[in-house]
Amino acid sequence: NTSSDYGRPFGEIFKAYEYDFFKIDPMLFSPAKVIVTNAKTGKSFTAGELNSALLTTSFGL
């Protein structure tokens, strides 16, 4: 992710931008993981990964 806000829980980011969704860097919403499947061959290609630690922190788990 190229956003300077990456790695912080979303609630913290939202508060820092005074709860104005449109002030948040749009690059923060880039997909973390993408899977593309070839319809002819059925072969799948994967790029990226999920940040489990950040998800856990963000949801207070």
**Which tens digit of pLDDT belongs to each residue from 39-54?**
999 999 999 998 899 9
Q: What b-and-e string marks burial along 8-39, b requiring 16 or more CB atoms within 10 Å of the CB?
A: beeeebeeeeeeeeeebeeeeeeeeeeeeeee
pTM of the model: 0.67
Question: What does the pLDDT read at residue 2?
Answer: 82
For each of the chain's 61 residues, which pLDDT tens digit applies?
A: 789 999 999 999 999 999 999 999 999 988 889 999 999 999 999 999 988 999 898 888 8
How far is the C-alpha of 28 from the C-alpha of 9, rounded, in Å? Answer: 11
Annotated domain spans of the chain: 10-58
